[in-house]
């Protein structure tokens, strides 16, 4: 989700809802890779390049973590702003644009190309995106509090998940935010309910096969990512940190301080596979995870 401080302005009381959880500290120094305004989501290409989105811009940014430089990889035509992003095929990404559209951004040719796959017209505010398989993504509608199963090949979609834990609350209609899928489980946050959840789903239909499990209800959570160590990492936005979660335990442990942290993705080269790149209000930061 867009940085809370810039989005809410006159609604500081919402921060009080995100009372600090009892986080066991394991702090690392976060270093700024590049300065960019209001990064919403990040993904990492196989060549090591970081891709970053901004909800107020159609530009998909490319970041070189070694040179610490950034440029516009491509302006996604037709999108007023970009949010969730995920790689569903080698060097081919699905990107949410304008809160309702799902776009394809293809880096496999000589230069990147973008195209609209389809607009989910009845959507309220699409934000988080999770890759389900090489044909399907799961898209979280923060405004309606549900999750669409979306085919990137045909553009067909349907509501796969809907639960009270996904519903919007607070001063703006925003509920389910970050979402990821792995090994038959969907993990997701609800930013203004300060909560983190998981639910087992069918590997074909993406529909729930059991009850939702709530991991916490007292720590703001935005987007999330999986680490190479089997742990889950959650950006806490207004709580200005990246936390680590052992899936078997569910307790958050702070691993770094990043102001306005919104999202994360791990490096994909031998040199940075243990580095979490964190999107935030002032750019992209790197945190080396201590195993």
CB within 8 A of 141, min separation 6: which ones? 120, 123, 124, 125, 126, 127, 147, 148, 176
Per-residue pLDDT at 170: 79
Q: Residue written as tokens 């979402």?
A: 179
Separation of CA 136 from chain center: 17
Two tokens at 50? 């970081």
* Domains, in order of start, for the chain: 18-288 (2.120.10.30)
Helix H or strand E encompassing 13: helix 13-17
Helix H or strand E encompassing 16: helix 13-17
Helix H or strand E encompassing 264: strand 263-266
Contact 79, 94 (CB under 8 A): no
Contact 43, 265 (CB under 8 A): yes
Alpha-carbon distance of 263 to 277, in angstroms, equals 8
Per-residue pLDDT at 290: 82
Per-residue 3-state assignment (H helix, E strand, C coil) for 111-178: CCEEEEEEECCCCCCEEEEEECCCCEEEEEECCCCEEEEEECCCCCEEEEEECHHHCCECCCCECEEE
Instruction: Name the 3-class secondary structure at 15.
Output: helix
Residue-level pLDDT, tens digit, the chain, 291 residues: 655 544 543 333 333 334 344 455 555 679 999 999 999 999 999 999 999 999 999 999 999 999 999 999 999 999 999 999 999 999 999 999 999 999 999 999 989 999 999 999 999 999 999 999 999 999 999 999 999 999 999 999 999 999 999 999 978 889 999 999 999 999 999 999 999 999 999 999 999 999 999 999 999 999 999 999 999 999 999 999 999 999 999 999 999 999 999 999 999 999 999 999 999 999 999 999 987
pTM of the model: 0.92
Q: Residue written as tokens 């190309």?
A: 113
Per-residue pLDDT at 9: 36
The torsion region of residue 38 among left (phi > 0), alpha (psi -120 to 50) and beta comes to left
Helix H or strand E encompassing 31: strand 31-34
Alpha-carbon distance of 35 to 46, in angstroms, equals 22
Chain length of the chain: 291
Angle of CA points 180, 184, 187, to nearest 5°:
30
């Amino acid at each position: 989700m867009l940085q809370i401080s810039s989005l809410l302005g006159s609604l500081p009381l919402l921060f009080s809802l995100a009372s600090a959880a009892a986080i066991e500290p394991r702090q690392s120094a976060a270093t700024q890779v590049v300065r960019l305004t209001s990064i919403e989501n990040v993904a990492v290409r196989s060549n090591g390049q970081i891709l970053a989105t901004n909800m107020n811009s159609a530009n998909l940014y490319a970041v070189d973590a070694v040179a610490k430089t950034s440029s516009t990889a491509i302006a996604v035509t037709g999108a007023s702003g970009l949010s969730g992003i995920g790689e569903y095929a080698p060097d081919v990404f699905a990107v949410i644009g304008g809160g309702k559209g799902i776009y394809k951004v293809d880096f496999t040719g000589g230069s990147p190309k973008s195209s609209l796959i389809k607009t989910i017209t009845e959507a309220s505010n699409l934000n988080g995106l999770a890759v389900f398989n090489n044909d399907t993504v799961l898209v979280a509608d923060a405004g309606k509090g549900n999750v669409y199963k979306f085919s990137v090949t045909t553009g067909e979609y349907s509501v796969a998940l809907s639960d009270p834990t996904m519903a919007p609350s607070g001063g703006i209609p925003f509920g389910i935010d970050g979402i990821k899928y792995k090994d038959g489980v969907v993990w997701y946050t609800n930013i203004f309910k300060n909560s983190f959840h998981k639910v087992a789903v069918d590997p074909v239909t993406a529909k729930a096969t059991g009850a939702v499990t709530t991991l916490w209800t007292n720590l703001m959570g935005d987007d999330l990512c999986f680490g190479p160590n089997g742990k889950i990492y959650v950006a806490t936005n207004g709580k200005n940190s990246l936390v680590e979660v052992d899936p078997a335990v569910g307790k958050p442990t702070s691993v770094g301080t990043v102001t306005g942290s919104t999202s994360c993705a791990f490096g994909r080269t031998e040199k940075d596979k243990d580095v979490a790149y964190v999107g935030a209000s002032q750019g992209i930061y790197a945190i080396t995870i201590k195993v």
